[in-house]
Structure 1
Amino acid sequence: MSETLPVELLGPPALPADHDPLADGILMAHQRAWLEDQSPLKIAAKGRRTGITYAEALDDTLIAATSRSGGGDNVYYIGDTKDKGLEFIRYVGHFARVVSKELAQVEEFLFEDQRDDGQTKHIAAYRVRFASGFQVVALSSRPANIRGLQGVVVIDEAAFHKDVGLVLDAVNALLIWGGRIRIISSHNGEDNAFNLLINDTRAGLYDYSIHHIPFFLAVQNGLYERVCLMRGWTPTADGKEEWLNKILRSYGPRTEARDEELGAIPRKSSGSYLPRALVQKAQQEGIPIIRWSKGESWYLDDKRLAEAKAWFKEHIEPLLDRLDPKRRTALGQDFARDGDLSVIDVAQAIDHTRWATAFQLEMRRIPFDVQQYVLFEILDRLPRMQRAALDARGNGQSHAEAAQQRFGVERVLCIKATQQWYAAAFPEYRAALEDRSWILPAGEDVIADHRLAVLVRGFPTVSDDHVKGSDGEQRHGDSMIASLLAHHASQAEAEEYAYRPALPAATGSARDRFMRDDDDFDTGHGSFARDLRGGF
Structure 2
Amino acid sequence: MSAPITEREWAEARRTATEVLPGVVEKLGLPKALISYQARVLELLESAACRVLFVEKSRRIGLTFGFASYAALRAGRTKAAGGMDVMYISYSQEMTREFIDACAMWARAFSNAALAVDEFLFDDSDKEGERSIQAFRIRFASGFEILALSSAPRTLRGKQGVVMIDEAAFVDSLPELLKAALAFLMWGGQVVVCSTHNGTENEFNKQIQDILSGRSKYSHIRIDFDQALKEGLYERICLVNGIEWTPEGEAKWRQEIIDFYGDGADEELFCIPTAGTGAWLPAPLIEARMTIDAEVIRLELPKDYLHLNSLQRAMLFQPTVIKVAAAVARLDKNRTHAFGFDFGRVADLSVATLLETDRVLRRREVLALEMRNVPGDEQKLLTKMILDGAPRLVGAAFDATGMGWTVAEDMGRHKGIKDAEHPGGLVEAIKFTSNSDWYRTEMPPLKAAFEDDAIALIKDEEHLTDLRIVKVIRGIPRVPDLRTGEVSKKRHGDFAVSLALAYYASRMQWHEYAYVPVPRAPSKFEETRSERDDGAPYRLGSMRRSRGIY
Superposition TM-score tier, normalisation by shorter sequence: 0.3 to 0.5
* Greater strand proportion: 1
Q: Structure 1 length as normaliser, TM-score?
A: 0.42
